[in-house]
C-alpha cells in the first residue's frame, strides 16, 4: 500500500487527479441515469465534509447513515472519514425500534438519511435517543412542513460547507492529512443472529487490505461496473461498492429502487457482480416460472440444453477438456438458450460474479456456472471485512468456499471451528471489550463460529455454523444449513428450517415461495385467498412433498448425510419475517428463536400427530400487530 494512499479520503483525492473525468457513480432517477465523475465526487464530498464541520461534527464522532443505496449516502461516508469521523450505516428497512439500539450504542448525534420515511423514524426516537441533534435529509419530497430544529436538507448542508470552506482555507486538506491508516473507517453492526447486534470497528488499513487483496486476485481494473443494491449496512456492500471501488476507481451504479433492480441490472450489464444466495435463488425461480408458462417446444428445448449444460457447462467454463460433440451441443445451446438467458438476467457482460453471506446449494451454484456465468464463492464475515477464502479461476468446487485468500492464515480448532488470522481483522467490537476478547484469542486468531474441513487440495468446506452442527441419536452429524440449502434449490421453496439435533429423525418447516407456487396454482385453476390458504392446500403439500423426497434421494447418496433425510414436514402458515424476529435483516434464520416460538409444532412433528393448531402474532409495517391462526397438516415422507 502506497504511503500516501493509506485512507479512503486520500484515495478519493488521488482518483480526482488520476482519472478526473471517468464515471465514479451513477444513479437512476425518474428513469434517467445521472453520472458523476471523480472530479465531481471530490467537489461533492468536500462541500459535505465542510458542511458537517460547520455544524460541529468533529474527529472521533460517529455519523449515522440510513437509506437505500444512493451516491450521496456513499459520499456521506467519505465526508465523515475526511473529518476523522466514523460512518455507521444502518439497515434502511429496519423499524424505528430496531434502529434505537444502534443509535444509542453508537452515541449518534449526527445523521444523514435518504428521505421522509427515515426522518420520521428518527424523530419518533428523539425522546428515547435525546443525543440526536442534527438530521440531514437527501430527498426533500414531503419535507416542506417539517419545522423541527434538528432538520436540514442535504443541499443546505452543502451550501454551509462551501461557505465554511471559503472562510477556512486549507481546513479540508489538513483534516485529510491528519487521518491515519489505523483510524476506524466504519462501524458495521452484526445481524444479531444470537443476541443484540455488535458494532464491528474496521480500520482503513483492514478494509484497504481486503480491497487490494480481492482486486489483485481477480485482476480488477478501473473499467469495472458494479450494481450497488444490497444494504449499505452489510459488509458485502461495504467491500464491493465502497472499499474496492475507492481502491480500483471503478464505477458504482445505484438503481432507482428495489423494484427496478432487475431492469437496471440489464441496462447496466455489470462486469463485476455480487449477490447473496437468496438473490440467485430468486432469479432462478423467475426463470422456472417463465419456462412453465412457455410453449411446449420452448420448454422441451430449454430442458434438453440445460441437461447438456449440467453435464459439460462448468468444465467448458473452467477450460477443461470436453468431447467435441459436447462442445458443439453446448455452442448450439449457448446460441439458443444460455446466451438469451444471461441477457434476460443482466449477466451478459459479467466477468466475475460472487456469492456469499450464507451457504449456497451446490445445485444452484452449478446452474449458473453451467450457463456460462463465472460465479464463484467467497467466505468471510463482518469481523474480517468479508475476506477469508476465495475461489481461484479454474479451481472451482461446488462444495467448497475456496482457498485462504492472499495474506490470510486459516486453521481449524480441535472441534472443527474455523480460526482466522489476517490483516483484515477488526480492531474491536465497539464498547465491548468482553466480546472482543471472546472472539479473538491470545494468539490473534478470530473464532468465526463456523465448522469446516479442508480437503486434499487445500479448499475449505464449511459444514454449518459450529453452534448449529449437532448429532442425531444414532451419532450421525446433523448439519441443518446443508439440508435447508438443498431444499431451497427448488423454486417452490423459499425458506426451510430443519430439526434433528439429539433426535432420531430429521423434520422440517417449509415456507413456500408465494410467486412461484401462486403461478403454479393459477395455471391449474386452484383458487386461494392468500398465503395461509395456499400454503394449506392439499395440492401444495403434494408439490412440496415431491421436492423434499428428491432431496432425500440426493442425501441418500452422501455417506455423511444419508441419515439426515427428512422424515416429516409441515408448511408454515406465515412467511418467516425479519419484522417478527424470525430472520435477521440479512435473512439468516434465527434458529433458536424459531425453535422456541414454534415449539408446539416441533413437538407435533415428533409426536406423530397428523395436524396441529397454532395462533401466531405478527407485526405489520406500520407497527400494528395481528394474529394468524391455522390448523397445520403434517405429512410423512418417503426416505431412501
Of 229, 251, 274, the residue at which a domain comes to its end is 274
**Is the distance from CB of 42 to CB of 19 less than 8 angstroms?**
no
Is a pLDDT exceeding 90 seen at residue 565?
A: yes
Of 274, 305, 334, the residue at which a domain comes to its end is 274
According to the model, what pLDDT value does residue 359 have? 64
Give CA–CA dist 380/235, Å, rounded. 9
According to the model, what pLDDT value does residue 416 have? 81
Q: How confident is the model at residue 364 (pLDDT cuts 50, 70, 90)?
A: confident
DSSP state of 104: H
What number is the average pLDDT over the span 447-456?
88
- Asked, for residue 478, whether it belongs to a domain, the answer is yes
CATH number at residue 264: 3.40.50.12780
- Asked, for residue 288, whether it belongs to a domain, the answer is no
- Asked, for residue 327, whether it belongs to a domain, the answer is no
How much of the chain, in percent, has pLDDT values that exceed 70?
98
What number is the average pLDDT over the span 258-273?
92
Give CA–CA dist 139/153, Å, rounded. 8
Alpha helices in 106-259 (DSSP H): 116-124, 154-167, 171-178, 204-218, 235-237, 244-248
- Asked, for residue 326, whether it belongs to a domain, the answer is no
**Is the distance from CB of 392 to CB of 403 less than 8 angstroms?**
yes
Give CA–CA dist 240/231, Å, rounded. 12
- Asked, for residue 373, whether it belongs to a domain, the answer is no
What number is the average pLDDT over the span 403-430?
94
Residue that is written with C-alpha cell 435517543 in the block: 129
Output the average pLDDT for the chain: 92
Q: How confident is the model at residue 625 (pLDDT cuts 50, 70, 90)?
A: confident
**Is the distance from CB of 90 to CB of 65 less than 8 angstroms?**
yes
According to the model, what pLDDT value does residue 569 have? 97
pTM of model > 0.85: no
Reading the block at residue 491, the C-alpha cell is 423454486
Q: How confident is the model at residue 277 (pLDDT cuts 50, 70, 90)?
A: confident
What number is the average pLDDT over the span 88-105?
91
Give CA–CA dist 96/90, Å, rounded. 11
Q: Would you tell me how many other CB atoms lie within 10 Å of the CB of residue 477?
A: 17
According to the model, what pLDDT value does residue 192 have? 66
Of 252, 274, 296, the residue at which a domain comes to its end is 274
Q: How confident is the model at residue 274 (pLDDT cuts 50, 70, 90)?
A: very high
- Asked, for residue 284, whether it belongs to a domain, the answer is no
**Is the distance from CB of 403 to CB of 460 less than 8 angstroms?**
yes
According to the model, what pLDDT value does residue 195 have? 67
How much of the chain, in percent, has pLDDT values that exceed 90?
76
Give CA–CA dist 328/333, Å, rounded. 9
Is a pLDDT exceeding 90 seen at residue 81?
A: yes
| C-alpha to C-alpha distances, 460 to 217, 377, 395, 421, 585, nearest whole angstrom | 17, 11, 12, 15, 27
According to the model, what pLDDT value does residue 286 have? 85
What number is the average pLDDT over the span 553-571?
90
Length of the chain: 640
- Buried b vs exposed e over 282-303: b needs ≥16 C-beta within 10 Å? bbbbbbbbeeeeeeeeeeeebe
Give CA–CA dist 497/194, Å, rounded. 16
According to the model, what pLDDT value does residue 465 have? 78
Alpha helices in 358-467 (DSSP H): 362-370, 433-439
CATH number at residue 571: 3.30.300.30
Is a pLDDT exceeding 60 seen at residue 428?
A: yes
Helices (H), strands (E): how many in the chain? 23, 29
| C-alpha to C-alpha distances, 138 to 18, 29, 111, 122, 407, nearest whole angstrom | 29, 13, 11, 14, 39
Residue 262's domain comprises 3-274
According to the model, what pLDDT value does residue 3 have? 64
What number is the average pLDDT over the span 576-591?
86
Give CA–CA dist 330/227, Å, rounded. 29
Is a pLDDT exceeding 70 seen at residue 633?
A: yes
Give the H/E segment covering residue 207.
Answer: helix 204-218
φ, ψ of residue 233 in degrees (nearest 5):
-80, -5
- Asked, for residue 492, whether it belongs to a domain, the answer is yes
Closest CA to 427 of 202, 205, 235: 202
According to the model, what pLDDT value does residue 358 have? 67
Residue that is written with C-alpha cell 461498492 in the block: 241
Q: Which residues pair with 274 in a beta bridge?
A: 354
SS3 88: strand
Chain centroid offset of residue 506 CA = 28
DSSP state of 536: H
Half-sphere exposure of 22 (CA within 13 A, CB side): 19
DSSP state of 230: S
- Asked, for residue 592, whether it belongs to a domain, the answer is yes
Burial (CB < 10 A; 0-12, 13-18, 19+), residue 83, is: buried
Query: Apex CA 212: angle with CA 206 and CA 213, to 5°?
Result: 90
Reading the block at residue 449, the C-alpha cell is 463460529
The tally of domains found in the chain comes to: 2
Amino acid at each position: 500500500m502506497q504511503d500516501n494512499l493509506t485512507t479512503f479520503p486520500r484515495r478519493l483525492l488521488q482518483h480526482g487527479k488520476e482519472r478526473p473525468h471517468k464515471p465514479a457513480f451513477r444513479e437512476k432517477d425518474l428513469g434517467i441515469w445521472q453520472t458523476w465523475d471523480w472530479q465531481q465526487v471530490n467537489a461533492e464530498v468536500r462541500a459535505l465534509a465542510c458542511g458537517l464541520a460547520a455544524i460541529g461534527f468533529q474527529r472521533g464522532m460517529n455519523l449515522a447513515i440510513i437509506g437505500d443505496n444512493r451516491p450521496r449516502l456513499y459520499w456521506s461516508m467519505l465526508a465523515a472519514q475526511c473529518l476523522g469521523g466514523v460512518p455507521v450505516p444502518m439497515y434502511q428497512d429496519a423499524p424505528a425500534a430496531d434502529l434505537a439500539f444502534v443509535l444509542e450504542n453508537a452515541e449518534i448525534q449526527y445523521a444523514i438519511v435518504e428521505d421522509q420515511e427515515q426522518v420520521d423514524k428518527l424523530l419518533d426516537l428523539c425522546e428515547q435517543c435525546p443525543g440526536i441533534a442534527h438530521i440531514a435529509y437527501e430527498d426533500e419530497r414531503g419535507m416542506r412542513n417539517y419545522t423541527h430544529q434538528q432538520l436540514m436538507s442535504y443541499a443546505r448542508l452543502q451550501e454551509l460547507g462551501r461557505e465554511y470552506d471559503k472562510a477556512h482555507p486549507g481546513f479540508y486538506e489538513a483534516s485529510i492529512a491528519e487521518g491515519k491508516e489505523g483510524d476506524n473507517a466504519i462501524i458495521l453492526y452484526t445481524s444479531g443472529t444470537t443476541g443484540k447486534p455488535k458494532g464491528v470497528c474496521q480500520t482503513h488499513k483492514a478494509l484497504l487490505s481486503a480491497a487490494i487483496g480481492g482486486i489483485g486476485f481477480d485482476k480488477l481494473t478501473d473499467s469495472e461496473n458494479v450494481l450497488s443494491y444490497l444494504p449499505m449496512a452489510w459488509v458485502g456492500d461495504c467491500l464491493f461498492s465502497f472499499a474496492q471501488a475507492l481502491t480500483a476507481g471503478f464505477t458504482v451504479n445505484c438503481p432507482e429502487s428495489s423494484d427496478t433492480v432487475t431492469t437496471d441490472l440489464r441496462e447496466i450489464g455489470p462486469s463485476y457482480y455480487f449477490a447473496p444466495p437468496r438473490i440467485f435463488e430468486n432469479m432462478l425461480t423467475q426463470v422456472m416460472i417463465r419456462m412453465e408458462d412457455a410453449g411446449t417446444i420452448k420448454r422441451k428445448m430449454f430442458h434438453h440444453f440445460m441437461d447438456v449444460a449440467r453435464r459439460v457447462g462448468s468444465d467448458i467454463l473452467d477450460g477443461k477438456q470436453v468431447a467435441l460433440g459436447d462442445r458443439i451441443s453446448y455452442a448450439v445451446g449457448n446460441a439458443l438458450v444460455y446466451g438469451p438467458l444471461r441477457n434476460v438476467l443482466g449477466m451478459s457482460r459479467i466477468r466475475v460474479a460472487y456469492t456469499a453471506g450464507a451457504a449456497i446449494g451446490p445445485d444452484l451454484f452449478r446452474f449458473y456456472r453451467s450457463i456460462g456465468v463465472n460465479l464463484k464463492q467467497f467466505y468471510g464475515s463482518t469481523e474480517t471485512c468479508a475476506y477469508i477464502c476465495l475461489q481461484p479461476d479454474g479451481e472451482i468446487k461446488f462444495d467448497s468456499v475456496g482457498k485462504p485468500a492472499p495474506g490470510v492464515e486459516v486453521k481449524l480448532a480441535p472441534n472443527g471451528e474455523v480460526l482466522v488470522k489476517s490483516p483484515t481483522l477488526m480492531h474491536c467490537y465497539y464498547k465491548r471489550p468482553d466480546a472482543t476478547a471472546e472472539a479473538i484469542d491470545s494468539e490473534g486468531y478470530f473464532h468465526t463460529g463456523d465448522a469446516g474441513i479442508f480437503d486434499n487440495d487445500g479448499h475449505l468446506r464449511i459444514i454449518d455454523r459450529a453452534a448449529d452442527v449437532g448429532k442425531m441419536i444414532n451419532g450421525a452429524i446433523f448439519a441443518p444449513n446443508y439440508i435447508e440449502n438443498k431444499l431451497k434449490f427448488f423454486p417452490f421453496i423459499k425458506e426451510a428450517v430443519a430439526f434433528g439435533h439429539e433426535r432420531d429423525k430429521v423434520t422440517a418447516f417449509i415456507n413456500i415461495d408465494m410467486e412461484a407456487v401462486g403461478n403454479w396454482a393459477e395455471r391449474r385453476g386452484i383458487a386461494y385467498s392468500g398465503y395461509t390458504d395456499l400454503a394449506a392446500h392439499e395440492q401444495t403439500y403434494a408439490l412440496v412433498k415431491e421436492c423434499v423426497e428428491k432431496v432425500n434421494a440426493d442425501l441418500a447418496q452422501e455417506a455423511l448425510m444419508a441419515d439426515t433425510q427428512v422424515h416429516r414436514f409441515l408448511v408454515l402458515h406465515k412467511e418467516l419475517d425479519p419484522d417478527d424476529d424470525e430472520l435477521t435483516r440479512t435473512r439468516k434464520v434465527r434458529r433458536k428463536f424459531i425453535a422456541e416460538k414454534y415449539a408446539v409444532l416441533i413437538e407435533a412433528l415428533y409426536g406423530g400427530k397428523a395436524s396441529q393448531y397454532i395462533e401466531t402474532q405478527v407485526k405489520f409495517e406500520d407497527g400494528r400487530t395481528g394474529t394468524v391462526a391455522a390448523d397445520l397438516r403434517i405429512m410423512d415422507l418417503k426416505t431412501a
